[in-house]
């Protein structure tokens, strides 16, 4: 009941802002949460995106005299520079001297009992991009679950979802639950981090915890919010973020999606693709030390000239993968076992192999998607 009351308060709070006013993220609204941290030992789940105006949240909290016990870091590390899935050791923040507890270290992805005993309240602030296979929300829910076990309050400082203007894709079949898909939600789920926390608790997908959301001001789900900082090393542009729901599927194929180039997620290709006028060669670079098809000449398609609004209107688009599948003529060998973890269902691969169109495959998930949209509305903190 508490989280439902919070939802109603947040909706009223957010509806007061002007539609054309600057979006104010949760971290900037210090009057909403700083007083709750007084006299507490505080931990922060955050990365490089946790900016409160021009200053990082951690630096601001330390400057305000908050007793910061630890920084919990997600995939890509606290500084956001590590490769996808790369192991990052726990360390000490050189600027503040606060311990960094990495949840992507070789020691596992849960806070230890010792770490849990070191703080009284958890603050969460990470910029998500609104996709089921983007791992920040999964890390947040794991941390909320641990906080539930230890009766620790969680304050989520919310941020806009740059892909929050639509909902699309198949609902995850929980047989394919993994580190890139934790909830029965579509690929493009249309929720902010605050909303997904409230929904997960409300639906019993996450342990019930004392969670408070500090919502954004002046944001609706139709807002076009350009991220001021790249949320991870290979999502370098807003254009890549819009393409990401569809081009990320190449991670489950033999193709390259441009890791190791200057435009990852904005192209796709393979050495055997035919009928292509564009080519690229993935190289070892910061954030992609060993990219797929490294140092191999790939023939493919450059998506950088696509109009952003066209990408948004097309939604979760299988046409790119179908195009690459047909041009490589590798058959079943085109896919890897990771493909099902990304799409979340077992029927898309065989339908592509059978020659079905993207529209035909989409019709398969639409009924479930409509049910999800109805469920989602119960937990929205912002106008659609």
Domain of 224, CATH number, reads 3.40.50.12170
d(Cα 79, Cα 99) in Å, to the nearest integer? 14
Which of 174, 195, 229 is a domain's end point? 229
**Cβ neighbours of residue 20 under 8 Å, at least 6 residues apart?**
none
**pLDDT in the model for residue 5:** 38
Task: Give the mean pLDDT of 98-111.
Answer: 82
**pLDDT in the model for residue 60:** 96
Instruction: Give yes or no for residue 145 having a pLDDT over 90.
Output: yes
Cβ neighbours around 160 below 10 Å, total: 24
173 and 34, same structural domain?
Answer: yes
171 and 39, same structural domain?
Answer: yes
| Enclosing domain of residue 297 | 238-353
242 and 225, same structural domain?
Answer: no
- CB-based contacts of 204-210 (< 8 A; 24+ apart in sequence): 205/141, 206/141, 206/144, 206/145, 206/148, 207/144, 207/145, 207/148, 207/149, 208/148, 209/144, 209/145, 209/147, 209/148, 209/152, 209/153, 209/154, 210/2, 210/147, 210/151, 210/152, 210/153, 210/154
Mean pLDDT (the chain, rounded): 92
Residue 47 lies in a domain: yes
Task: Give the mean pLDDT of 160-178.
Answer: 98
220 and 304, same structural domain?
Answer: no
Least confident of 67-76, 178-187, 313-322: 67-76
245 and 274, same structural domain?
Answer: yes
| Stated pTM of the model | 0.91
153 and 292, same structural domain?
Answer: no
**pLDDT in the model for residue 2:** 43
291 and 213, same structural domain?
Answer: no
- CB-based contacts of 364-369 (< 8 A; 24+ apart in sequence): 364/170, 365/169, 365/170, 365/171, 365/186, 368/170, 368/171, 369/167, 369/168, 369/169, 369/170, 369/171, 369/186
Residue 378 lies in a domain: no
248 and 213, same structural domain?
Answer: no
258 and 202, same structural domain?
Answer: no
Residue 365 lies in a domain: no
Instruction: Give yes or no for residue 9 having a pLDDT over 80.
Output: no
d(Cα 242, Cα 341) in Å, to the nearest integer? 20
Residue 384 lies in a domain: no
């Amino acid at each position: 009941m508490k989280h439902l009351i919070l939802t109603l308060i947040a909706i009223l709070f957010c509806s007061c802002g002007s539609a054309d006013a600057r979006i104010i993220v949760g971290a900037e609204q210090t009057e909403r949460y700083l007083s709750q941290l007084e006299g507490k030992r505080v931990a922060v789940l955050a990365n490089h995106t946790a900016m409160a105006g021009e200053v990082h949240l951690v630096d601001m909290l330390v400057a305000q005299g908050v007793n910061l016990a630890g920084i919990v870091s997600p995939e890509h590390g606290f500084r956001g520079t590590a490769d996808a899935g790369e192991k990052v050791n726990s360390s000490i923040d050189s600027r503040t001297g606060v311990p960094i507890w990495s949840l992507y270290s070789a020691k596992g992805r849960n806070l230890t009992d010792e770490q849990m005993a070191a703080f009284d309240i958890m603050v969460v602030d990470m910029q998500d991009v609104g996709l089921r296979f983007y791992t920040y929300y999964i890390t947040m829910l794991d941390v909320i679950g641990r906080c539930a076990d230890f009766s620790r309050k969680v304050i989520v400082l919310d941020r806009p979802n740059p892909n929050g203007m639509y909902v699309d894709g198949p609902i995850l079949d929980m047989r394919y639950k993994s580190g890139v898909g934790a909830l029965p939600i579509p690929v493009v789920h249309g929720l902010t981090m605050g909303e997904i926390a409230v929904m997960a608790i409300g639906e019993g997908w996450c342990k019930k915890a004392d969670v408070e959301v500090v919502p954004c001001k002046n944001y609706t789900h139709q807002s076009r919010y350009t991220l001021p900082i790249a949320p991870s090393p290979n999502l370098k542009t807003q254009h890549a973020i819009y393409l990401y729901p569809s081009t990320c599927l190449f991670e489950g194929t033999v193709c390259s999606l441009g890791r190791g180039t200057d435009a990852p997620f904005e192209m796709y290709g393979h050495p055997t693709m035919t009928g292509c006028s564009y080519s690229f060669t993935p190289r070892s670079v910061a954030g992609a030390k060993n990219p797929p098809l490294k140092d191999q000449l790939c023939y493919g398609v450059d998506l950088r000239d696509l109009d952003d609004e066209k990408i948004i209107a097309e939604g979760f688009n299988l046409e790119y993968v179908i195009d690459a599948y047909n041009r490589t003529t590798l058959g079943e060998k085109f896919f890897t076992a990771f493909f099902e973890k990304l799409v979340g269902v077992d029927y898309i691969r065989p339908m592509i192999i059978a020659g079905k169109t993207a529209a035909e495959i989409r019709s398969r998930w639409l009924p479930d998607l409509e049910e999800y949209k109805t469920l989602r509305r119960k937990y929205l903190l912002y106008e659609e």
